[in-house]
Amino acid sequence: MPDVEIRPAGSWDDVQTVFGPNGAYSGCWCMWFRVAGAEFRDLGAGDRRTRLQSLVEGSERAPGVLAYLDGAPWGGALWRRVRSTHGCSARPSPNPPPLRRPGCGRSPVST
C-alpha cells in the first residue's frame, strides 16, 4: 500500500514539482483566489509564480498543504481567505478571525 503524508506547503521546490512548469492551470499559480479579477488578468504567469513563491518562502504559516506519495511530492491544495461572520450571533464580530479553505489544488491523473 502506498505511503501518503500531508505536510505544510513550505518547500518551494516541492510546490513547483506539484504545480509543474506551467503553474497548474495555464499559469494560474493559485493566484485566482488571491488577487482581484482585473489584477489577475494584468499579471503574467511569471508574476503570479513570483507571488506564490514569496508566499511559500516568506510566510510564517504555510499557504496550504502538500501530499507526498512514498516520500515524493504528489499533490496539494492552497488556502484562500474567506469572509464570515464570527459565531452564530445576529451581529457579526467587528474583527472576525480569518478563515481559510482550499482555493486551488493539483494532483496528477495517474501515479
Sign of CA pseudo-dihedral 34, 35, 36, 37: negative
The rounded distance, in Å, linking the Cα atoms of 73 and 90 is: 44
Q: What are the cell numbers at 91? A: 451581529
Each residue's pLDDT tens digit, 29-87: 888 878 888 898 899 999 999 999 999 999 788 888 999 999 999 988 887 665 544 44
Q: Is the pLDDT of residue 7 over 90?
A: yes
State residue 90's pLDDT score: 43
Burial class of residue 17, CB neighbours in 10 A (0-12, 13-18, 19+): middle
- What is the pTM for the complete model shown? 0.73
Amino acid occupying residue 50: T
For the chain, the structural domain boundaries read 4-106
25 has pLDDT over 70: yes
